[in-house]
Chain A
């Protein structure tokens, strides 16, 4: 980085140490040799990661500037692939779908999870709460593919969703929920709510138990209502956990693949198409590697732009 000046460093015998430049200059001479040797511990992980993650990452960016069918010669097209995505309302709506999914993957589970965790906080530890924890976690451990299959059946014409609706006299609105243009996206989204609810509830519950009980006492002495207590003690105390919930669920929404691939394949029409499935379709059925890669880069940027501010705001160390 800042390799300039500092003749003391220049005069050092080890040229390599110039690049190393650890911040604690005073100690450098005695420890630098050993430090470099310590890279041996990190090197295997770093090399694997560099070869199978960083390298494809760079290649993805590179591909995105070409028109290539995966076999023949590739033609440089500059930013054309990006222009096509960013000016085509059909392609843009795919990105929009990912954000709509956030409502179900993120907002619903975090909001319900907060309410549930606040209510569960008072419960005595016992077999009931242990069983509840176990049960709520199950959707997190099964393959998302299986979740897709389960819900595909729940939502089908003969499925339990319609069966229940008919039973309570709402037979008029029954339909195959995943095959209907107006309901497919929310229906897919609710699968995400189902998967994420348990995780959020338990994460937030763990956070609540870490809040200093004296804060609650103080609030009570000040005559705070339960709602006031929730707003002024629980919510601020859970900032970190809420941050983690938001991060995890937002990435899951933006990068959703398994559930959609299994339950709707992006259909009906393109009403549930999301970036992940579109990348797969473009790359492996359309053989439009450039387009697929541009979408891949856009997806990465969108994820980073969404997650980094949340991390910044919620994971500050002053909490």
Chain B
């Protein structure tokens, strides 16, 4: 019993250490963001007169109103389309008899291992040929495709857990595959779809390499891409940079905390994505 208790204590202690290590960088960023603008602060020191106005200034300088709108437009372009295509394909591969189903699935799984950087050069010229460079479509269309392997993988895994009797029952009732999908499978897939939606939102919001390659104008980029530009411009003003970085991270942390349950489930079960 005592050994179990000691184990528990060690567990708690280690957890506390990990939590501190995780949080320290944020604490120093936060305390820096509140220093007088243009000053040269050190590590962690609570400012005598916290400058909350720095956040407002960073918001204006980084053009965050425009940026939020831009990022949301990109998210709206990517997420619903990805969900629809992934749900259809996952349903087809898991439940229906699609020719070459295994080969098709393998092709998608292969995509899970492809680093984005390996595709970025040809993608650039391909998007240029379509005349879409420097538009949000240059991010939306490739991202839908780049997230498709995970989406299909995820939705197929979900549809495989649906008992076959359910499909059979629907078929006996005279429902074709489409009606079975619409009225039986899709409603049951809502939890899986919402987890996927949250993941896709975060990946899109945080997408960087595609954003800096495809779009020159930071205000048409994703949030992470814009943050990169902001660093380039205000990198020497550590106070403003800290405030800007915090503002840009805040929505991701907020979404995570609010949807934590779906989120950890998705990330833990579906962590196969690279």
Chain A residues proximal to chain B, CB less than 8 Å: 20, 22, 31-32, 34-36, 38-42, 44-46, 48-49, 51-57, 59-60, 63, 70, 112, 115-116, 119-124, 128-129, 131-146, 149-151, 153-154, 156, 158-164, 194, 197-199, 201-203, 206, 226, 244-245, 247-248, 251-252, 254-255, 257-258, 261-262, 275-276, 279-280, 283-284, 289, 292-293, 296-297, 299-300, 303-304, 307
A276 touches B117 (CB 8 A): yes
A261 to chain B, nearest CB (A): 7
For the complex, give the distance between the alpha carbons of A210 and B51 in Å.
49
Partner of A38, one of B96, B148, B213, B228: B96
For the complex, give the distance between the alpha carbons of A260 and B15 in Å.
28
Partner of B25, one of A151, A247, A275: A151
A116 touches B14 (CB 8 A): yes
For the complex, give the distance between the alpha carbons of A119 and B3 in Å.
12
User: Is B167 an interface residue, CB under 8 A from the partner?
Assistant: no
The A interface is mostly helix, strand or loop, or mixed, namely helix
For the complex, give the distance between the alpha carbons of A138 and B238 in Å.
22
Partner of A139, one of B22, B41, B123, B241: B22
A120 touches B40 (CB 8 A): no
Query: Which residue of chain A has its CB nearest to the CB of B202?
Result: A141
Inter-chain contacts of A135 with B (CB < 8 A): 19, 22-23
Inter-chain contacts of B231 with A (CB < 8 A): 145, 149, 262
Partner of B120, one of A31, A41, A283: A283
For the complex, give the distance between the alpha carbons of A297 and B115 in Å.
10
User: Is B175 an interface residue, CB under 8 A from the partner?
Assistant: no
Q: Can you list 12 residue pairs at the A/B interface with Cβ under 8 Å?
A: A22-B97, A32-B99, A44-B89, A52-B144, A131-B19, A144-B208, A153-B25, A198-B18, A283-B121, A283-B124, A300-B114, A304-B113
A199 touches B267 (CB 8 A): yes
For the complex, give the distance between the alpha carbons of A254 and B253 in Å.
26
Inter-chain contacts of A150 with B (CB < 8 A): 25-26, 28-29, 245
A231 to chain B, nearest CB (A): 16
Inter-chain contacts of B29 with A (CB < 8 A): 150, 153
A145 touches B274 (CB 8 A): no
Inter-chain contacts of A248 with B (CB < 8 A): 271-274
User: Is B77 an interface residue, CB under 8 A from the partner?
Assistant: no
